[in-house]
Structure 1
Amino acid sequence: MQYKRIKWLILWIPTATIALWEYVRHAFLLPYISMDLGNLLAPVIVLVVTLTLVRGLMRMLEEAHESLQRERAVKAALVEREQLARELHDGISQSLFLLAVKLDRLERETEGGAAAQTAVQLRGTVRRVFEDVRQSIANLRSEPSLADTEWMQPVMLLAEELERSDGLRVEMDWRLSELGLSSKQKVELIAIIREAMLNVQKHAGATRMLVRTEPAEGGGFRCTVEDDGAGADMDELMAKGRYGIRMMMDRAKEMDWQLDIGRVGGPAAREERGGGLRVELSSKEGA
């Protein structure tokens, strides 16, 4: 039912109820119901109609309003994402492409020298950054879905991309429902998980990764990203010029979540520098 029609029905039903009652009372019930009793029954009848018909219409009105607000929010987010994607494409993406072209020229002009080797390394770095930007543009231009069952799609799509492009086996154990999570919590949670997965791709040298999400006892949730790679020290992960771990920590701190980073297998594995990296994110009840 249309939003405006629901509002008009809510306004007119009590009025129509009183008018119908007065007509029936004066036309048919005057010999049986006194004036005082009829006046007493009028508000009772209006109350009964309000608790049945009008209350249902109010609920429908609230649902229609919430649906309209969600559509507006998605539309606004889509406009912002498209604008950001355009800025990335017109700015950073094109600059990286030109930089790659210049590095190719530098490699040809210094063929066989130390500068050529440096140019090759720089070109590889530029190519990886370019692919990250390209993936970000693709994600920004994908239309956000209103379906609650698809809110984790960015993680699923990244897992497919890692398996296709890097041969990294990604196992998903997703038991976390969207119920009880706000829109901001969903966005921050997905962003942290994606960053953890990208860190595995870039730094772990892993062949297998496990992403697990589950509700925690007593409320909240727990998310874990593990890999079978060589691992890394926190000093290396927090080194200057690396922002992935810092971004994850900042997001978790802002949401009052706990973020723990360690080695798979605990202290023994940490001492031997064996086992992959384990990133665990957890929230408190109601956080």
Structure 2
Amino acid sequence: MSYQRIKWMILFLPTVTIGLWEYVRHQWLMPYLSMEAGNWLSPLIIYIVSITVLRGLFQMMEHTRAALDQERIAKGKLEERQQLAGELHDGVAQSLFLLGVRLDQARRRFDQPQVVQLLNDLSRTVSEANHDVRQAIADLKQAPRQEGAQTSSLEARIQAMVPLAGVKVDVDWQLEDDIFSPSEQAELLACLREALLNIHKHARARSARIVGMMNERGWQIAVEDDGSGYNRDDLEQPGRFGLRITAERAQQRGWTFDFERVDERTVFVLREGKHHG
């Protein structure tokens, strides 16, 4: 039922009710019902209609109005996201593209191996940053989630990031949301996002797994993949700064971060507190 129709029903229903009552009363009930009794029954009937029918109509009106407000908010957020996407595209993305072109030109002009290697690393870093920015632009152009989704569980938000890995990812999440503060949840999601992007860019994996669980020392979160592994020296290359940033995030929060190879699987681990094992 539309919002306007509900309002008109609320306005007219008491009038129609009392009019019908008075008609029935004077047409058929006068021989059986005294004037005083009829006068007492009139407000009683209005009260009964108010607490039954009108109360339900008011609840319907509130729900309809809330839905309209949510739609208006969602539309406003979508417009803001699209505006931000346009600004990113016209600013950061175009600048990164131009920087990549200039690096390619510089790479063709120098023949020293060390310079070429450095330019290759810089070009790869710019390419990855450009990919991330364009992915953010694509996400911003999509309609934002409803308010209920924005306040959804941590597991649901992790599930929403799974496509970033580019492979099948199983999620085994046994942690309660309330063990993390809102700021810790934001940091945790940023770390997991980097782990999934690392799988997509470097692992050459076929599948992955995210496990969140409690043990005797506190919570532990692991992201595992069956990819080709890694060389620790590679993590120090200019193009592989994401994991170093993740380690710094963990250190600032007092967490432990490990990135290791275990049983032919690459394991990205975050643990509560500064401990190992």
Q: Could you say whether these structures have the same fold, taking a TM-score greater than 0.5 normalized by the shorter chain as the test?
A: yes
Residues of 2 paired with 1:264 and 1:115: CA distance?
30
Paired residue type of 1:139: D
Q: Counterparts of 1:114 and 1:133 in 2: how far apart (Å)? A: 29
Amino acid at match of 1:162: A
Partner of 1:284: none
* Residue type of the alignment partner of 1:62: E
Gaps of 5+ in 1: 217-221, 254-258, 282-287
CA distance in structure 2 between the aligned counterparts of 1:80 and 1:48, rounded to whole angstroms: 47
Tell me what 2:23 maps to: 23
1:171 touches 1:211 (CA, 8 Å); kept in 2? yes
- Greater shift after overlay, 141-150 or 61-70? 141-150
What SS is found at the alignment partner of 2:143? Answer: coil
Instruction: Work out which of the residue numbers 224, 229, 240 in structure 2 matches 1:227.
Output: 224
- Structure 1, residues 62-105: CA drift from partner, whole Å, max 9, x if none? 11111111111110110011011101100000000000011011
Structure 2 counterpart of 1:211: 210
Pairing partner for 1:202 from 191, 198, 203:
198
Q: Does 1:90 align with 2:90?
A: yes
Task: Tell me the distance in 2 between the aligned counterparts of 1:231 and 1:31.
Answer: 101
Structure 1 residue corresponding to 2:267, chosen from 263, 272, 276: 276
Aligned-residue offset at 1:124:
0.7
Amino acid across the alignment from 1:14: P
Question: Do residues 162 (structure 1) and 165 (structure 2) align?
Answer: yes
**Residue in 2 aligned with 1:46?**
46
For residues 169 and 22 of structure 1, do their structure 2 counterparts lie closer, same or farther at Cα, with a shift above 3 Å needed? closer
SS at the partner of 1:276? strand
TM-score (norm 2): 0.69
- Letter aligned with residue 227 of structure 1: E
2:141 corresponds to: 141
State the Cα distance separating 1:276 from its structure 2 match.
Answer: 3.0
Q: CA deviation at 1:114?
A: 2.2
> 1: distance between equivalents of 2:52 and 2:86?
51
The alpha carbon displacement at 1:159 in A equals 2.5
Give TM-score, length-normalised by structure 1.
0.67
| Conserved? CA contact 2:220–2:271, under 8 Å | yes
8 Å contact 1:226–1:277 — kept in the other structure?
yes
Identity of aligned residues (%): 34
What stretches of structure 2 of length at least 5 have no aligned partner? 273-277
Q: How does 1:168-183 map to 2 (within 5 A)?
A: 170-173=169-172
The alignment covers a number of residue pairs equal to: 246
- CA distance in structure 1 between the partners assigned to 2:74 and 2:40 by the alignment: 50
Which entry has the higher C-alpha Rg, 1 or 2? Answer: 2
Which residue type is aligned with residue 135 of structure 2? Q
CA displacement at 1:170 relative to structure 2:
2.1
Q: 1:262 to 1:192 in 2, by over 3 A?
A: closer
Shift of 1:246: 7.4
- The one-letter code sitting in structure 1 at the alignment partner of 2:140 is L
How far apart in 2 are the matches of 1:42 and 1:10? 18
- What's the CA shift string for 1:150-192, capped at 9, x where partnerless? 97887556423422xxxx552234689xxx99xxx8xx96885
Instruction: Give distance in 2, aligned partners of 1:133 and 1:230.
Output: 25
CA–CA separation in structure 2 for the residues paired with 1:246 and 1:79? 35
Distance 1:38 1:201 in 2: 77
RMSD (CA atoms): 4.5
Q: Contact between 1:231 and 1:276, CA under 8 Å: does it hold in 2?
A: no
Tell me what 1:59 maps to.
59
**For the residues of structure 1 that align with 2:242 and 2:134, how far apart are their CA atoms?**
24
- CA separation in 1, counterparts of 2:117 and 2:231? 27
The within-5 A match list for 1:233-272 is: 261-263=256-258
